[in-house]
Amino acid sequence: ETVDHIIFGCPVAASLWQQVGVTLDAHTTVDTLHSTASSSAIPERHGSIFLFLCCWNIWKHRNRVVFDSIEPSLQLLLRNCREDARLWAWRLPRADVAIVEFWCALLYPHVTRCKNSTPLIAV
């Protein structure tokens, strides 16, 4: 397994990128992801943070599949991305925290809130 295969080639990872509106092609690599995503629905401001958040969670999910013998799950991956987005919101300037709400809408369009520490509520 290469890094590019883990981040883009695995079915759950490919589904995550589709969910957030990043179109992958045969030439997409970790090195080209930022330029690939710049034409997607992801806002440019703090977009690289969101991409890293997705890559980090794909990597952690893959490790859990391999080492903890869990089944690959898009829903679990999306939930973990949303939880990390909540945490990572604290590192953004206060004026930019609303971007995290947009990230959460990409990760799961039926979630009403993401930035606070209360559980997410599905509509």
Q: How confident is the model at residue 123 (pLDDT cuts 50, 70, 90)?
A: very low
Sign of CA dihedral 60, 63, 68, 74: positive
Q: What is the pLDDT of residues 58-84, one digit of tens each?
A: 999 999 999 999 999 999 999 999 999
**What would the two tokens of residue 17 be?**
């990128």
Q: How confident is the model at residue 114 (pLDDT cuts 50, 70, 90)?
A: low
Q: What is the pLDDT of residues 84-103, one digit of tens each?
A: 999 988 888 988 888 888 88
Specify the pLDDT at position 15. Answer: 94
Contact status, residue 12 vs residue 61, Cβ threshold 8 Å: yes
Highest mean pLDDT among 14-23, 33-42, 105-114 belongs to 14-23
- The pTM of the full predicted model, rounded to 2 decimals, is 0.82
What is the number of other CB atoms lying within 10 angstroms of the CB of residue 65?
Answer: 17
Give the C-alpha separation, 117 to 69, whole Å. 29
Question: Which three-class secondary structure string do you get for 26-64?
Answer: CCCCCCCHHHHHCCCCCCCCCHHHHHHHHHHHHHHHHHH
Specify the pLDDT at position 118. Answer: 38
Closest among 54, 72, 52 to 62, alpha carbons compared: 72
Mean pLDDT within 32-53: 79
Give the C-alpha separation, 56 to 62, whole Å. 10
Give the C-alpha separation, 120 to 123, whole Å. 10
